[in-house]
Amino acid sequence: MMKKALLAVVVSFLGLVVFSGFSLAGEPTYIVASDISWPPFEWVDEQGNYVGFDLDVMREIAKLEGYKIKIVDVAFDSIIPGIIAGKYDIGASGFTITAKRDEVVDFSKPYWSSDQAVLIRRDSGLNIVTALSQGRTVGAQRGTTGAAWIKENLIEKGVNVKLKLYETYPLAVLDLVNRNIDAVIQDEPASRASVAKEKSIQIAGIIVTGEQFGFLVKEGDPKGILPKINEGMAKLKASGKWDELVAKYFGK
């Protein structure tokens, strides 16, 4: 009996490997990668739908430019490696356009500008200067512009602050609420969303970095996606749809 069971395991397993299949290459659908855990740019709503500004813009552009998209949720750190490896076609996850990233991928025209906000606890009595001075611990998400700003403008210039990195921003905010760190540095729109949900924290101030967000594709744009994205954005802005989406997600 046991031998038959073992045989069944072998056979069913081989079957599964064959049928679970390799993902089809060469479909006319573009795969959009996003770290879907960063409201209001991208998150999962209660019905399990992928929602947010980035994703809606991607959908609208796809409609206007006549291609299909498939949105996949990927860890932020894995998006650019995946684009380079050809796993995904478009990265749409609130990426700040930086010279370093521009070396390995190609960016669309900027679609959003943002500054960095410094979050503190309401009862901490800190302000934007004291929160980022000697001996403080500041949290940020790994691989983000906020983390890079702390490193370049404070630590490398000799200010002795400690930078603590997290897998996602909500964990950094949670650690702030739990009094384990003194401040969190995060993009402004997401910070406003955090403050709206978590009453014990507030925005101490804004660091004007004027950074711009862009969608990204593989270096050299082998599939010719960038012109479509740029054209689609221009069309959205001309039709007024763009302002509708901004109002929907940022309440401006």
Partner 1 sequence: MSIIDKVILIWTSLPPLARGALVTLELTILLLGMGLVVGIFLALGQVYGSYPVSLFITCYERFFRSIPALVLLFLFFFGSSYFGFSLSPFLSAVLALGFRSSAYQSQIFRGAIQSIDEGQMMAARTLGMSKFQAIWNIILPQAFRLAIPPWSNEYSSVLKDTSLAYAVGVIELVREGRYIIVRTFEPMLIYIIVAIIYFFFTYAGNFILGFIEGKIAVPGYERKLGRRMGGSVER
- What is the contact surface with partner 1 in residues (CB under 8 A)? 2-3, 6, 9-10, 12-13, 16-17, 20-23, 25, 33, 36-39, 43-46, 48, 72-75, 78, 81-82, 85-87, 168, 170-171, 173-174, 197-198
The two tokens of residue 250 are 């940022």
The distance of closest approach from Cβ of residue 156 to partner 1 in the complex, given in angstroms and rounded to an integer, is: 29
In this complex, which beta carbon is closest to partner 1, that of residue 74 or of residue 204? 74
CA distance 24 to 148: 37
In this complex, which beta carbon is closest to partner 1, that of residue 19 or of residue 158? 19
CA distance 73 to 55: 11
By C-alpha distance, which of 83, 69, 44, 31 is closest to 168? 44
The distance of closest approach from Cβ of residue 125 to partner 1 in the complex, given in angstroms and rounded to an integer, is: 23
The distance of closest approach from Cβ of residue 150 to partner 1 in the complex, given in angstroms and rounded to an integer, is: 23
The distance of closest approach from Cβ of residue 64 to partner 1 in the complex, given in angstroms and rounded to an integer, is: 27
CA distance 234 to 246: 15
Give residues with Cβ within 8 angstroms of 193, minimum separation 6.
39, 40
The distance of closest approach from Cβ of residue 111 to partner 1 in the complex, given in angstroms and rounded to an integer, is: 22
The distance of closest approach from Cβ of residue 152 to partner 1 in the complex, given in angstroms and rounded to an integer, is: 27
In this complex, which beta carbon is closest to partner 1, that of residue 78 or of residue 212? 78
CA-CA-CA-CA torsion for 207, 212, 213, 218, nearest 10 degrees? -130
In this complex, which beta carbon is closest to partner 1, that of residue 74 or of residue 132? 74
CA distance 20 to 18: 6
In this complex, which beta carbon is closest to partner 1, that of residue 22 or of residue 66? 22
CA-CA-CA-CA torsion for 170, 211, 204, 161, nearest 10 degrees? 80
CA distance 135 to 196: 28
In this complex, which beta carbon is closest to partner 1, that of residue 10 or of residue 129? 10
